[in-house]
Amino acid sequence: MELPPFLRLRPRYLPKVWGGRRLQPSSLEPIGEAWIVAGDSYVAGGALDGTTLDELARDAPLALLGRSGDDGDFPLLIKLLEATQWLSVQVHPDDALARELEGPGSRGKTEAWYVIDAAPGAELIVGLRDGARVGELESVASDSRILELLAHVPVRAGDVFFMPAGTIHAIGPGVLIFEVQQMSDITYRLFDWERPASAGRELHVAQSMHVLRNIDLMQSNRAKGNVERVVCDYFMLEELTLSGQSLARDTAGLTFHAVTALSDGVRVTVDSGSARLGAHDTVLIPSVTGSYTLSAEHAARALIVSLPVK
């Protein structure tokens, strides 16, 4: 299968009780997530219009991903999140615990966040506060006393957080976040801000505690904030500043590059043409494309997500 030099994808918008109006202003429901690159993302336009990334990963894995792929599907999920209320206090398993708790073929969920925008006073929960212990969580899980054990971190636009599986966390109101993660939706909730229990928002105290007790050294110690570049076993995330000059990049047949513009006017150029990106627009550049350049009409920023090169 021949792939074009870049792919535009159709975002999928997910209503959430904690969402807002920025991601899809026309929606009658609060939208919390826009899935901009996912296995079930549809290609928009061109000869492959309506094809999903999972289908391309199965039919043309080397051309798309640069590798065959053990699972036969697209391995990452990239999304935008808008929070106007606190998200649940939660934790995700690693690959081994996902298989143990959810069954064969399940993936864990390591992720990274880039803070696109943050209101004054906005904060995140990342790990335990100094002196707190994992064993203290179980007796206060599901009620507000758990908040006394957690580390609250103030944030501003441009902050980056690497969040390995096993990091207890929550996103606070007033933030717009770019997130890259393993293609997994396994979430275990410890506390949901005393929202009424409803289908799909149950608590998972037993599973959460099992994860926290079985991932070495309580992974909050490995969570990192304000890093310029994230490199882990599952993905790489890099921020680029474009200020007049073109920047050359190359997939080198080793990995795709997903390019998301944080500012209007970013341009992706290959030998056969170019694509102009508005703020928060994304194109996926298959591994087979090779060299390309990024430029901007004025000072702008962009994020590139790729697979780790082995």
Q: CA 289 to CA 267: how far, in whole Å?
A: 16
Residues 6+ apart with CB under 8 A from 67: 61, 254, 255, 307, 310
Taking the CA atoms of the chain, what radius of gyration do you get in angstroms?
A: 19
> Which of 282, 299, 305 has the alpha carbon at shortest distance from 245?
299
Give residue 46's region: left, alpha or beta (phi > 0; psi -120 to 50): left
Residues 6+ apart with CB under 8 A from 113: 124, 159, 160, 161, 163, 171, 177, 178, 179
Q: How far is CA 306 from the centre of its chain?
A: 12
Q: CA 56 to CA 248: how far, in whole Å?
A: 26
Among this protein's residues, is 129 annotated catalytic?
no
205-214 and 95-102 helices, crossing angle to 10°? 140
Cβ(88)–Cβ(189) below 8 Å: yes
E strand or H helix at 153, and its extent? strand 150-154
Give me the catalytic one of 189, 213, 229, 276.
189
Cβ(79)–Cβ(11) below 8 Å: no
Residue 77 burial class via C-beta count within 10 angstroms: exposed 0-12, middle 13-18, buried 19 and up: buried
Catalytic sites, residue numbers:
189
